[in-house]
Structure 1
Amino acid sequence: MLELHCHTTYSDGTLAPSQLIALAIQTGVKAIAITDHDTLSGWEEAFSAAADLDLEIVPGVELSTVYNERSLHILGFYPNKNKLYYPLNERLEGRKRRAQQIVNKLAELGYPVELPQMGEGIAASRPHIARALVKAGYVQSSQEAFEKWLGDDQPAFVQYEKFSAEEGIQLLLNCDGIPVWAHPYLFRGGEVEAVLKDLVSAGLLGVEVYHPSHTSKQIKHLESLCDHYGLLKTGGSDFHSPNSDISLNQLHLPLELLESIKQVKSKRERTR
């Protein structure tokens, strides 16, 4: 069974990479991608935790980009860590600036909180701020925090610093990665068909077809679009926490999806 979209405490997940690996073994996962937002920092711990286990680690990342003034996420599989390290450092610094701007807005609204202390390589995110709002007693849950202040178009929302989807795709390609559009039907900035056409023109190589938010009808349509453009089909639970409605390995995806990614990776390596 395959998981190609998972987060750890290095971004907005609640499990450390080693804890995620342990859960993957418990739930029958055979290959798992570490795709934290804008950081590769969880890779090392994941590889170490899985060293003696029957579990393949797929190195990955989820880039936070903007398309049509809306957040659009691009997954990247097998990027070259050395090439991507410094560009991502700037993205991490941008995340810190954005998080501080959100905190400043909350203070102006009358809800002061402090950003939690985060170590090296950790991507500051809205869920961190949501948990701080819960801890301060302003709301009962992170979901409530998003509904009142942090969600898109809410009073404390701040968009990512300018980094277009096209730039994100090109960055991944330049760093030997496989760029894949994450959860297309969660995107709120345009029709999937029109957006996909632009992303393919920018060099997109795949689409996250299988995701808990996608309906059966949407999945079939995405499969058809992938066939039309000759794109990879990927999928994952977008796992963040064992205390959520999303469970690890809930989609029971076949390992053949990963083999297709590896074939494209090998083909690109031969042509470089």
Structure 2
Amino acid sequence: MERIDLHTHSTASDGTVRPEQLMVDAIAAGLDVIGLTDHDTTAGWQPAVDALPPGLTLVTGAELSCLWNPERGWPISLHLLAYLFDAGEPEFAAERAALRASRLTRAEEMVGMLVADGAPITWDGVLAIADGAPVGRPHIAQALVAAGVVRNVPEAFASEWLGARYRVPKRDIEVIEALRLVRGAGGVTVLAHPKASKRGRVIDDAVYAELAAAGLNGVEVDHPDHEPAERAALAGIAADLGLLTTGSSDFHGTNKTVRLGENTTRPEAYEELVAKATGAVPITG
């Protein structure tokens, strides 16, 4: 049976493995299909394609930072996996560019707050760690580790550091609008780790029907941050609404402890996802 991991990150966003090396590592991990879903960017696609080993299939994608219900009460953060969209479609491309610009401004503001409070890091140092990738909290976390402020990246994400005290809100897309943009670019959508309560507040079960009506294609059920009960609940919701179910690692390299292929997607679900896309097709080495 094919081994399919549809949610991974590279140095094009907040992972620690370059896209070209990630393709090599995917083969070593026994994968047949890998989805490259860096945050709000397609910058890793071409390096991954150029390095694609024989026998490995690449599903191009991106993970979008979204909000649910921003105008009716306290907003809830959501992540939307967009697959096989036309990267050149102008409206969606412009929105992704705006998100990336917002991330840069946000990161610079967080570094400024840390420096003002005496943290021995610099913006230039954080940029060097990012090495051309869009700067995010993981890069600031690595700078804090290198400076000896914290012991490791998870500690840097604690509430007294980047988790709350020095965290600046980022610009996110309202999720219904994000679904519209991806659909307009010919892509398909899967809600990433939607019941990962350890990450914070999650949407009510009733919201899934509204998202499905707006064009959501699937939900990520098997994810490292989902407990067994959360996986079971999601599978039931998906069955009721006719949504695809996927599984993945959400691999970030050394920034997280998960392994490539830690969770996988059933080939039947993968084939259905591909069949729904009109913006692009998977690429096989």
Normalising by structure 2, what TM-score?
Answer: 0.86
1:88/1:119 CA distance change after superposition, 3 Å: farther
Cα separation, 2, equivalents of 1:26 and 1:261:
25
Note the alpha carbon deviations across 1:210-253, whole angstroms, 9 max, x for none.
11111222212111111111111112100011574201112244
Structure 1 residue 107: deviation in Å?
2.5
Contact 2:6 2:264 in 1 (8 A): no
Matches within 5 A, 1:147-162: 147=158, 148-151=160-163, 154-162=164-172
Pairs aligned (count)? 265
Contact 1:185 1:192 in 2 (8 A): no
Matches within 5 A, 1:232-251: 232-242=244-254, 244-251=256-263
Q: Which residue of 1 aligns with 2:189?
A: 179
Q: Which residue of 1 aligns with 2:44?
A: 42
1:166/1:243 CA distance change after superposition, 3 Å: closer
1:174/1:149 CA distance change after superposition, 3 Å: same
Cα separation, 1, equivalents of 2:75 and 2:270:
32
Contact 1:184 1:192 in 2 (8 A): no
Q: Which residue of 1 aligns with 2:71?
A: none
Where structure 1 has 5 or more consecutive residues not aligned to the other structure, the ranges are: none
Q: Which residue of 2 aligns with 1:144?
A: 155
Q: Root-mean-square deviation (CA), in Å?
A: 2.2
Mapped pair 1:257 → 2:269: yes
Contact 1:18 1:49 in 2 (8 A): yes
Q: Name the aligned partner's letter for residue 261 of structure 2.
A: N
Structure 1 residue 162: deviation in Å?
4.5
More moved, 12-21 vs 154-163: 154-163
Q: Which has the higher contact order (CA 8 A, sep 6+)?
A: 2
Note the alpha carbon deviations across 1:9-55, whole angstroms, 9 max, x for none.
011100001111111101110000000000000000111111x5100
Matches within 5 A, 1:220-239: 220-239=232-251
Structure 1 residue 199: deviation in Å?
2.4
SS of 1:223 mapped into structure 2: helix
More moved, 197-206 vs 218-227: 197-206
Normalising by structure 1, what TM-score?
Answer: 0.90
Contact 1:71 1:159 in 2 (8 A): no
1:108/1:200 CA distance change after superposition, 3 Å: farther
More moved, 105-114 vs 140-149: 105-114
Matches within 5 A, 1:1-12: 1-12=3-14
Where structure 2 has 5 or more consecutive residues not aligned to the other structure, the ranges are: 69-73
Note the alpha carbon deviations across 1:111-156, whole angstroms, 9 max, x for none.
2522322465x322110110011112111111111113111xx111
